[in-house]
Structure 1
Amino acid sequence: MQIADNSAASFHYTLTNDAGEVLDSSDGREPLAYLHGAGNIVPGLEREMTGHSAGDKFVVDVEPEHGYGNYIDELVQVVPRKSFEGVADLAVGMQFQAQTQQGPIAVVVTEIEGEDVTVDGNHPLAGETLHFAVEIVEVREATDEEKQHGHVHGAGGHHH
C-alpha cells in the first residue's frame, strides 16, 4: 500500500540541519505514526511521503516555508520584567504562553538585561532548512475513528 490521504503511516527518521547536526531522531524509539493528510507532520515532509510504501528509504529537504516557517523578526519583542510577575527565577530558555491579537503563542526567553526581557515567538526551527532521512515502516488504511479524530491511535500514535 502507498501513502495517500487517510492512510496511517509510521516511519523512522533522523532530522539534521544544514551543518549536519542531528536535531531529532526516532533512533532507539518507536517509529513516528501519523495520519496522512491531517497535518500531523510538517507540510513539506508530508508532501514528499505521498506515494511511498513500507520499506522505502529516502532523503527529504524541506525549505522553511514548508517546515516551521520563515523567521519573523516581529515575533521577537522586549517586554518589561514585571510582565513575569510571580516568576521568581526568570531565566533564559524558559518558555511561556503569550496572548496576542491573533491568539496565544509560545514564546521563549532569549535574553534578560536589567528590567528588559527579550522573548521570541518563532518556532526554534523557524528559518531552518530541515533535512530528513526517512525509512517507512508501515502503511495501512486509517480506521474510521482515526480519521474522525485526525490522528493515529495505538503504537507510535496518540493514546486516549
Structure 2
Amino acid sequence: MAIKNNQVVSMQYELKVNGNLIESNLEADPIEFSFGSGDIILGLETRISDMNEGEKREVKVPAAEAYGNYDETLCEIVPISEFEGIDLQIGMILEAENENGELFKATVSDVTKEDVTVDYNHPLAGNDLDFKIVINKIV
C-alpha cells in the first residue's frame, strides 16, 4: 500500500551530489518521519509518495525542488571585526540569531584581512540530489 499523509515512514537512503556521497544510512538504522509533515524535502516526498513497504528506488530531485537554486544575492561581505575571536576558515558554518531570535546558518566563503564573505544559501542549494531509497516500514 502506498504512503499516505500522516503515516510514519521508516526509510534508509543514500544521497549523492554530482556523484559524490554526501550521506548515507543504508548500513545503519533507518530514519523515521511523518509523511506530509515537511520532515523531508518536498521534492523527495513527492517522488516517494507511491512507494510501498520493502520497495527500493533511485530518485533524482532537481535543485529547485530540493534546497532551491543558488542565489548570489544571499552572499554578504562583513567586516572581519564582526568575527573577533573566531578562527575563520573557508567552508566553516556559522550560526547566529536574527532580530526575531531565529537561528540561521551561513557558510564562510572568503576571508581577507579586512572582510569576510558569508553565504546564506543552503550548502546544497543549486545542486540536483540523487537518492537511493529503501522504504522499510509504513505505519
Calculate the TM-score normalised by the size of structure 1. Answer: 0.79
Q: Tell me the residue number matched to 2:65.
A: 66
Identical aligned residues as a percent? 36
Q: Tell me the residue number matched to 2:7.
A: 7
Q: What displacement does 1:45 show? A: 0.5
User: What is the rounded CA distance, in whole Å, between the counterparts of 2:128 and 2:77 in structure 1?
Assistant: 27
User: What is the rounded CA distance, in whole Å, between the counterparts of 1:128 and 1:85 in structure 2?
Assistant: 33
Question: Are residue 95 (structure 1) and residue 86 (structure 2) matched?
Answer: no
CA RMSD of aligned residues (A): 1.7
Q: What displacement does 1:127 show? A: 0.4
| SS at structure 1 position matched to 2:73 | helix
Q: Please give the per-residue CA displacement for 1:25-81, whole angstroms capped at 9, x wherever unaligned.
A: 113211121110000111110011112111111111101111011101011111100
Matched residue count: 138
User: What is the rounded CA distance, in whole Å, between the counterparts of 2:32 and 2:95 in structure 1?
Assistant: 27
Question: Are residue 50 (structure 1) and residue 49 (structure 2) matched?
Answer: yes
- CA shift in 2, pair 1:93/1:76, >3 Å: same
- CA shift in 2, pair 1:44/1:22, >3 Å: same
Runs of 4+ in 1 over 4 A off after TM superposition: 98-104
Q: For structure 2, which runs of at least 5 residues remain unmatched after alignment?
A: none
Q: What displacement does 1:101 show? A: 7.2
Q: Tell me the residue number matched to 1:31.
A: 30
Q: For structure 1, which runs of at least 5 residues remain unmatched after alignment?
A: 141-160
Q: Tell me the residue number matched to 2:107.
A: 108
Q: What displacement does 1:104 show? A: 4.6
Q: Tell me the residue number matched to 1:154.
A: none
Q: Tell me the residue number matched to 1:121.
A: 120
AA paired with 1:64? A
Calculate the TM-score normalised by the size of structure 2. Answer: 0.90
